[in-house]
Amino acid sequence: MTRKQNLITDIQNLLNTHENINPTSIDANLLDFMDEETLINIIDSLLKQKELSTEPDKTWLNTFKLQEY
């Protein structure tokens, strides 16, 4: 598997980690025309979106931490 194919697989895997979304399958031919830098930028964007989507969950969970008195 080439580095580019690995990046495309990583994008697909990241898309499939979002909750409440049907599994995503990407036709590698659709992304094959993109260079590695573009694919890496897509991965970076997906990671940032995932981080932002979990932030409200972290805030909610922090409300249950024990407070010191």
User: What is the pTM for the complete model shown?
Assistant: 0.67
Alpha-helical runs (H) found in 1-69: 3-15, 28-31, 36-62
| Domain residue extents for the chain | 3-62
φ/ψ (deg, to 5) at 56: -60, -35
What mean pLDDT is reported for the chain?
Answer: 78
pLDDT in tens, 8-25: 889 888 888 766 667 777
pLDDT in tens, 37-49: 999 999 999 888 8
